Structure 1
Amino acid sequence: MKKIWKELKSQNVFYYIAAFSITVILIITVLGSYLYRFYYRTIYSDFLISNEEHLRSEMSRHENDMQIVNDIVYQMGLAGEVTKFKLSEKPLAATQLEKHLFQYTTVSQFFQLLLYQYHEDDYLYSSTTSVASDYFARQGCVLESMDSQTVLEELYAPVKELRVFPEQSVTGLWVQSYIGVSRVVLYMQAIPPGFQETLLFFVPDSYYDSLLRNDAEDMRSDFILYKDQVIVSRESRETDPAALLELVKGTQAQRQVRLDGEKYLLSVLQGTSGLTYCSLQSMDIFYNKIVTGQWGIIGLLIVCAIPTALFIMVLSRRMAAKVRKMNQLLDSQEETNYNLNSIESGIQLLVEANELKEKENLQLKKTRFIRNFVRNDFKDPEEVLQASKTASLEIGNGMYVAVLLGERSDSNENRAHTEMLEVIAKEAQLDGYGIHLVSSSQSLFVLFSEARERIEETLDMLFSIGKDCYEEFVMSVSGYHSNLTEGSAAYLEADTAFDNRFLQDNNKILRFEEVSLGDVGNVLPDSYLQKLRQALRSRDKAAVEQAVEDICMRMTQKSPSLPMFRLLYNDIIHVLISEWKAENTGLESIYNVFTLSQCLTIQDFNDLLCEACRLIIETKPEENVDRSRVVEEAVLYMKENFSKSELTMSALADYLHISSVTLAVEFKNKMGIRPSDYLANLRMERARELLVSTDMLIREISRSVGYEDDHVFTRRFKKYTGKTPGQYREEHT
């Protein structure tokens, strides 16, 4: 035993064991401190998040209701045909106004009573009746903190800003017969643009009881402020409003405050309506959670310390045996001391072999990232950034370019490629990588940086290396891109510039910006892509084939160049990707930029596009096409009346007895298009028929499809078809 102990000391194994034991003790100590601090920070973070989410939930609900109030105010400002009259002069107009107000009473549970008052009239109107302003202020609505004269002054005041009156009791038989409550918060808003009308919204206390409800054990108080005044509050303890206002001043988010000798967490959020939302919760909630959890941490450390001590004792005995065994393997000796130098030499060899393997793996990851990047295999920019970190590439959120190198000589290819990668690695504020495209005998580099001049300097150095190493060398560069999901577009731009190497001087860098492409919109207007998209959504294979045939015929008539053709099919394939509903399954069958770049004829493109559309239709899940009665009636009404210039979305909503907001939401959800866009499409299609089949003047066609202004009709027709009405008639007749 003494001999072994001596050998351990002589070869420093003993000291390693002692150092290890001390290290373990320190680790446990540090771990305990860290766990406590981590637990403290976690509980405090959860405490902050819980309060913020609680307050944000209240604010979101209240701000949504305030937005409905704001929408009602502006919609009333547009309803001039039923407002701004005196009851004494137009008694029948009151009935129309009451019907108009009725549609708003079911919009929200926020307010319980809505009143309208025209400043030149002596009456207020609800959805069912009217009441004299003087009677309303003196007897019909008696407020706790406002006398009748103040109520009258506020009613007739043309104040532009929202007015909010704090929660207070209300009496008066007229008001209570409608709302049946004793306490309300009153909102007043003058109606733009003249501000000669006022809307009153009575919000019952039951609404705020529900909104600001807290359990007693939460020890939380919630407040809503407006212009340095507490509008409504629900408190777990009495709080001085003046003290609360003083605390809120200068608070933008969350902070700890002291009130009456106690600590609280104050959370403040500012709403877009001008209201300020506050929550005050006692810090005792946080401290109680800390005390509950700290005993668990102490117990955990004790549980860890006991087996650790036993582990060190066992490890000390086994370590000497393992060191001796490794020495025997390395030195091939039957008896040997505990020589750590031999072990170190063997480990060094293993480390070097592992570093070489890691380097090869990193190169493979970078190659895979560049390949996937230019194929648009990533769903969004966040996925691109995550993949770049895995490949140890710092791409940031700046700009990037794609670079194609061609016309290489085999003798210097590897040396040049290595030198180029070294240049990129040495450049500050820039990163990138290059891969070989075996099928096209090219190399593809992608450079990322937040500084354009840094990319330009690197391009010059890469070009210089290529000219030095290759007998014949061509280098093309795409335009600058900042959207990380446009990798394929950058590659196609570089490839387009490369295709022009015989038309330009390849003794300089070929740039995509210098290639003349023409007007893409004149070759293929948006209406062709819209027809293809609608055919895919309706799962109509015949319509899809017709849409593809129309696209190919159009492209044949315009005879686009190869660069133009590639840009056009890139836009078309993006339409297909937007309609692809099968997650990532088979996505390569739909869009592989390296395969599509070999399409050289319209027939090739027609066959490939039809096959892609077939796959989309076969994998597209069945959709529920059952539309509501409102949408069906809206579609039928627009088809029958689209030629009338007075047909607007407001008129359509009135016909259907719904609000414009409800019409827009229902129509968009069921049809996937705004009702105004659907009406415009009906008019444009009818105009196209009249231009081809009749000799009517442009002015007459404009009137017949619902446009009073010829210039508006011409501008919208060109946007829809890519041509003016005259050009369209000349081409199709």
Structure 2
Amino acid sequence: MVTIIIPLRLGGRFIVGNAVFIINDVAYQKMFTDEISQERNMYIFSGKTVISAKRAINIPDEVILKEISETEDSIIRDIVLQDGSKYILFAQRGKLLNLCYVSVIPHETVQMQTARSRLAFSLFLLMLSVPCGLLTVYFANRHVKPIREIQKSIGGDITAEDGFSAIKKGIETLKGENKALHTRLDESMGVCRADFVKRFVKCRFPARRQAVDTASALGMDIDMAFYCISITSALPPEKRALEHLNSTLNYKSGVTGYGTEIFDHEQYLFILFANERNKLESWLDNAKAFLSSLDNEAVMAVSNIHVDFSEATNAYLEASTAYDNRFVMGDENILRFSDVSSAAKDIEPFTENYLEGFRRALYAGDAKALHDRINELFRILKTKKFSLFAFRIIYNEIVSMLLNKYLSYGDVSENSIRYYDIFELSRCRKVSDLTEILQQLCNDILRREEQNMPNENPVIGRITDYIRENYTDPGLSIGTIAEIYGMSAAALSQKYKEQTGMYPSEYLMLLRMEKAKELLSKTDMSIQEIGTSVGYYDASSFIRRFKQHMGMTPAKYRMLVKNASTK
């Protein structure tokens, strides 16, 4: 029997009893049994006393006791007996009862076991290498072939000596192509965003979520509460205005926006989004200040602020309308659609009278009168603040009148026909630009007039010269002129109308009114003095005729011109 006594301590300090274990010696010896038990000795020492031992090798206990007495630690060491035999000693110190567990194994046994393990492991590797090799070849061939096919499809030549090199080369080629593709996609992102802006303005997205998702796929954040549309005059590329404006559209400003350049109209179109109205207003003010610093004639027009994406087309039309009103609103500040007057009441009575006077000057072939009428139009536009509707009516009527006259000559150049394209108006950035267009067309018409002079009745030409020389004579009348040239007043009027497009009485009044306007704007003469100077016996007749021709009294016209000059 083997008896093991273990003292029991309280708190690790006070012995309060002992635990006794009694184990049958046969059962205890079985605890030392393993696959090589017959080739090693097993001992349990307590101090220098052998408590239990299993001896399969003839080694004196004193040798073992001497080896383990030299140190109190666990050891592994070689021992050599006098007969030259070598052993490996393992000693493990226990924590209870000063026990030491010892095992002694011959060198040959360890080497034999090691050799057996190596052999078994080698056999295992050999058995494993055959299927692994086959699988490696199979998968390599399976993957190299499609990669070589991909390599061929992208234009690469297979010059590698082995399949793995071909795989590497194919992958590198694919990486290069993929990088180039990403580069091209990044470059085209701006085009895709510009296309989205155009589709958004045209309301091509039936639902808000569809627009938001489409924009998100392009890296655009438009899921915000408010938006508006801005149209800005394009500046020269070297000023990089579009680049600078885009850089201010970010989360820091609270405004995101996306735009494109409308090359045909020389404009920038922006759609601006924000969660707060005041953020939009603040950004627009800053943007206008920036544009003005680059070009003091820069124009920025803005629609009303909207919420519903389905109103995008309306917003664009609002911004476009405000932009077109720059002639009558000025470009010092942001042109807002809410500031545009849509009433047509301001075109009466000016429009009808003005156009009639313009027509008379045109058909009379009086270049000075035509240019004076054009300049007069824009002086009044700057002063009266016409609505876009009124301005369009006047502009269309003038251009139609000019082209009707021009077309009557035949062989019309496309360069002149283009003036009737209303989008030409959008290219003008200031009033002087539009003045230049109309004056150029007038000059073209007058040159045509001179080229067609040989076919005219020379008598009518002499009558026109006579009227120009004597229009200030109060006694001048059509009857007097007809008598001088030996024809009746009716015949004179009819022939004059056929050749010039107006009656001689109309031309006479045109000359008197043009001279009166010149005196009203350039002199301090009284109304009565001016009336007498241009061929009227009394002031009342002059005032009545002037109001009939201009739609306003001479005094009001003088005040209008004076105010325009002051501004």
TM-score bucket (shorter structure):
0.3 to 0.5
- TM (normalized to structure 1)? 0.28
* TM superposition score normalised by structure 2: 0.35
